[in-house]
Structure 1
Amino acid sequence: MNPNKALWEKGDFTQISQTMRESGDELVSKLGISKGQKIMDLGCGDGTTAIPEAERGAEVLGVDIASNLVAAGNKRATAAGLATCTFQEGDACDLSDIPDKTFDMVVSIFGAMFAPKPFDVAKEMVRVTKPGGKIVMGNWIPGDPTVVAQILKISSAYTPPPPEGFISPMTWGIESNVVERFGQAGILKEDIRCEKDTFTFNASCSPTEYVGLFKNFYGPTMNAFDAAEKNGKSADLQQELTSLFNSQNKAASPDRTTIPATYLRVTVNC
């Protein structure tokens, strides 16, 4: 199995994405979506941004590598009565079943950044976007002090080194890499805009309980706990993550979690 597919089908990311809904909707509200626009949401999960895009009148195709998340997205769209929102399996590195110049907008929020071949990802996103359309990515930033970059940094310290040739998904959070990757896909530097923005995780549980969701349902953290368990360091990993979540929690109530995270918002004019 494709290791990326195995990673995101491990656990149940919908448990995490439920805490991302408010910020997903807020992010979509900034995209200037108009009725009838054709949008691909790439690495869509169960529709944290795809569903709000359809609610604003767009025709949305959600594409994700994980079959369980595709099924969950279709279930959510059906429950919401959104006939213009469908989800299908696909690989961001190879969208060969999708014709050139199909979409007015391609959106990928913390999705395509995890695909293993970033130059192929950029090329495919540009290929399926109509001339005059745009691409919007949300990418976590390496070394950022906020929660997601720190979760991945902590987790990586407990897992075996990646295979030779591995390109970290966090490299999508560096502006020069974004410019180079889209540049090779034919986009001029002046048609690429990068700006920092904030995405907030909101959970109706304590930070300690929220760590439990990542431990049990988030592929990268699950892998870190599997490796830590073998080395007798599971308690250390648990403590590091619990300290991180508690220190970054902005909620006024101890039984709630509100953690803002900084990301790079990329806008590409095609």
Structure 2
Amino acid sequence: MNPNKALWEKGDFTRIAVNMRESGAALVAKLGIAKGLNVLDLGCGDGTTAIPAAKLGATVLGVDIASNLVKAGNSRAKAEGLTNCTFQEGDATDLHDLKDQSFDLLITFFGAMFAPKPMDVAKEMVRVTKPGGRIVMGNWIPGDPTLVAQVLKVSSAYTPPPPEGFVSPMLWGIEQHVTERFVNAGVAAENISFAKETFTFNAPYSPTELVSIFRNYYGPTMNAFDVAEKNGKAMELQQELEVLFNSQNKSITADTSSIPATFLWVTVKR
């Protein structure tokens, strides 16, 4: 089993994604999507950004390595009556099913950054995007004090060191590394730009309950708890995450969650 595939098929990321819909649609609204645009959403999950893009009139293909999320995405598109939005399984490191220069816009919000072999990922993204098109990435930032970067940091502290040669997905959140990868893929450095944006997780339940959702359904957090339980540290990890989630909650009511997370917005002009 591909370790990356196993990670994202573990649990059920749709339980996290349901709290990402509002921000996903808001991000897509900034992309200038119009009818007739051919869009690839890479590492699409169950369609948090793919479905809003299709609702704006684009023809959207969502590609994800997790078969359960592809199935969920197709079910959502069908339920919405979106014949212009389809999902299929694929690996961001090798998009062999997709032809060169096929897409006007490639988007990947917190998706392709988790694939291994980042140089290959950048090359594939550039390859399938049309000249004159755009690649837009949203990537979590290492060391950032907001939610997701801290969840991943806390989780990694409870798991064994990664294998030799492992490249952290968080390096996609550092401008220098992003530039290096796309320049290596043939993009001029002046065609790569960056901004900081905010993504908000909104949930109709408390931050403590949101921790439970991450514990039970989010692959990286599930792996951390698996190891922590074996080492007698599960309660310690639980408490650390509860403090984090509660301290960052901006909701005015205790029984709902509204937790912002800062990310790096990358725009590549093809």
Q: Residue in 2 aligned with 1:105?
A: 105
- Aligned residue number for residue 20 of structure 2: 20
Q: Deviations over 1:184-213 (max 9, x none)?
A: 001011100111000000000000000000
After TM superposition, the runs of 4+ consecutive aligned structure 1 residues lying more than 3 A away are none
Question: 1:156, CA displacement in angstroms?
Answer: 0.3
What residue in structure 2 maps to residue 38 of structure 1? Answer: 38
Shift in Å at residue 97 of structure 1?
A: 1.2
Whole-angstrom distance in 2 between the partners of 1:227 and 1:36:
48
SS in structure 1 at match of 2:108: strand
Structure 2 gaps, min length 5: none
C-alpha distance in 2 between matches for 1:222 and 1:131: 40
Structure 2 residue matching 1:19: 3-state secondary structure: coil
**Residues of 2 paired with 1:116 and 1:130: CA distance?**
24
Report SS of the residue matched to 2:263: strand
**What's the RMSD between the two structures over aligned residues?**
0.3
Name 1:189's counterpart in structure 2.
189
Q: Aligned residue for 2:255?
A: 255
1:162 aligns with 2:167: no
Q: Does 2:242 match 1:242?
A: yes
Question: Which residue matches 1:152?
Answer: 152
Q: TM-score, normalised by structure 2?
A: 1.00
Percent of aligned positions with the same letter in both sequences? 71
Structure 1 residue 37 displacement after superposition: 0.3
Q: Report Cα offsets for 1:159-207 as digits up to 9, x if no partner.
A: 0111110001000000000100000001011100111000000000000
User: Size of the alignment, in residue pairs?
Assistant: 270
| Counterpart-to-counterpart distance in 1, 2:61 and 2:196 | 26
What is the deviation of 1:106? 0.4
| Mapped pair 1:226 → 2:223 | no
Per-residue deviation at 1:96?
1.0
Identify the residue that residue 214 of structure 2 maps to in structure 1.
Answer: 214
Letter in 2 for 1:6: A
Look up the match of 1:95.
95
Question: What SS class does the counterpart of residue 22 from structure 2 fall into?
Answer: helix
Partner SS state of residue 48, structure 2? coil
Give the superposition deviation at 1:158. 0.3
Amino acid at match of 2:107: V
Q: One-letter code of the match for 2:234? A: S
Q: What TM-score comes out, normalization by structure 1 length?
A: 1.00
Query: What is the rounded CA distance, in whole Å, between the counterparts of 1:103 and 1:61 in structure 2?
Result: 9
**1:48-63 equivalent positions in 2, closer than 5 A:** 48-63=48-63
**Deviation string for 1:99-122 (max 9, x for gaps)?**
000000000000000001100000
Alignment of 1:59-138 (within 5 A): 59-138=59-138
